Amino acid sequence: MKFRNFIVAGAVALAGLAGPASAKEWKTVTITLEGAYAPWNMTNPDGTLGGFEPELAKVLCERAKVECKLVASDWDGMIPALNAGKFDIIMDALSITDERKQVIDFTIPYAATPAAFATTKDNALANAAGTGTEVRMDVGQTGVKEVEALKEAFKGKTIGIQAATVYAKFIYDNFGDTATVREYKTGADRDIDLQNGRIDLGFDDSVYFQSAFDAAKGELAFTGPQIVGPIWGAGEGLGVRKSDTDLRDMFSAAIKSALDDGTVKTLSEKWFKTDVSPK
């Protein structure tokens, strides 16, 4: 997901109740995904989970020598549910951010992706200044000239974002005072409104949007520069409870192995048509 930002109120309390770390022999691990953020993860017609992350999870579990069960759950409740013991790992394009590190721990990242605006190809906002370029931003940075130019161009427009994400924070921080921000439970719900003209723009993970563009049969496209850099954290990693340092280390080793031998690159090129391996 996406560099998405959970609301952590309540999660801090749950983390505090997790207790001290204790040795555990991991034989079975439950991994949760949203199942609705293609091509990162999706729910197949037969109810199984597919996409980049489920395929990578299979590889990681084999290398960690554990049996894994994949389950779907709602995005905005994942961190509290993790700390409540409902599953063991979050794997949902989960950005590694300082805010999240207050309540959960992370493996090393297995991906790092930019974010961008999208609109319909026939919209007057298409091909905004900077389209096809990248702008690098640091955590909390505002006032960047390229973004300020977009702020003026998008003044008075409606921007759709998935709720409780780092992308939502970016839009509120940079466009909240000049544009209308509309939140959606899922990216797919937002994309439908974008395609049907009920909102003017969407903002999300760039590789997620590539899949959405295919689903929209070419009616949607990027506009403005892609936003890259530390603003989105260290990359996407697996989220685990703070007490489960052994589980974290097992899967970090598995991720490193999959990065080193090109497995992550191969899977990302299959699903995203580009290499999302952290650089």
pLDDT at 20 over 80: no
What's the mean pLDDT when you consider all of the chain? 91
pLDDT bracket for residue 9 (50, 70, 90): very low
Mean pLDDT over residues 242-254, rounded?
Answer: 98
What pLDDT was estimated at residue 40?
97
Per-residue pLDDT reduced to its tens digit, 31-61:
999 999 999 999 999 999 999 999 999 999 9
Which DSSP string do the residues of 169-220 spell out, in sequence order?
HHHHHHHTTTSEEEEESSHHHHHHHHHTTSSSEEEEEHHHHHHHHHHTTT-E
Residues 4 and 227: beta-carbon distance below 8 Å: no
Per-residue pLDDT reduced to its tens digit, 53-91:
999 999 999 999 999 999 999 998 999 999 999 999 999
Residue 22 CB neighbours (<10 A): 8
Q: Which of 190, 212, 211, 210 is nearest to 201 (CA)?
A: 190
pLDDT at 7 over 70: no
Residues 128 and 223: beta-carbon distance below 8 Å: yes
The first and second tokens of residue 277, run together, are: 């391996």
Per-residue pLDDT reduced to its tens digit, 210-238:
989 998 998 999 999 999 999 998 999 99
Per-residue pLDDT reduced to its tens digit, 172-209:
999 999 999 999 999 999 999 999 999 999 999 999 99
Rounded Cα distance, 147 and 198, in Å: 23
Residue 260 or 215, more confident: 260
